[in-house]
Amino acid sequence: MTDAPVVLVACPDGPILVRGEVEIRDADGAVVPRRRSTVALCRCGASAIKPFCDGSHKAIGFRTDDEGSRPPEPLT
């Protein structure tokens, strides 16, 4: 690991981006392998590749409270 800072970015209506060297562990405490320096962590709960995001938040209309109350966008 390097001394570079770790940055977390909560994307509106999407994942949490993790930039930098940080160890990610699953619920049992096992280290989750990372293949990239920036990863997207699921926060909608619908991803098939948890803990990573697979874009499912778009299909289920996941919304965060980052921008206050908004009506859901129509699914197409």
- Of the pLDDT bands very low, low, confident and very high (cuts 50, 70, 90), residue 2 is low
DSSP letters spanning 24-35: -B-TTSPBPP-S
pLDDT in tens, 27-52: 999 999 999 999 999 999 999 999 99
Cα separation, 39 vs 49, whole angstroms = 12
Average pLDDT over residues 13-35: 94
pLDDT at 67 over 70: no
> Does some domain include residue 76?
no
Domain with residue 2: its CATH number is 3.40.5.90
pLDDT at 6 over 60: yes
> Does some domain include residue 75?
no
- Is the bond preceding 72 in cis, omega lying within 30 degrees of 0? no
Query: What pLDDT was estimated at residue 3?
Result: 76
Are 8 and 35 within 8 A, CB to CB? no
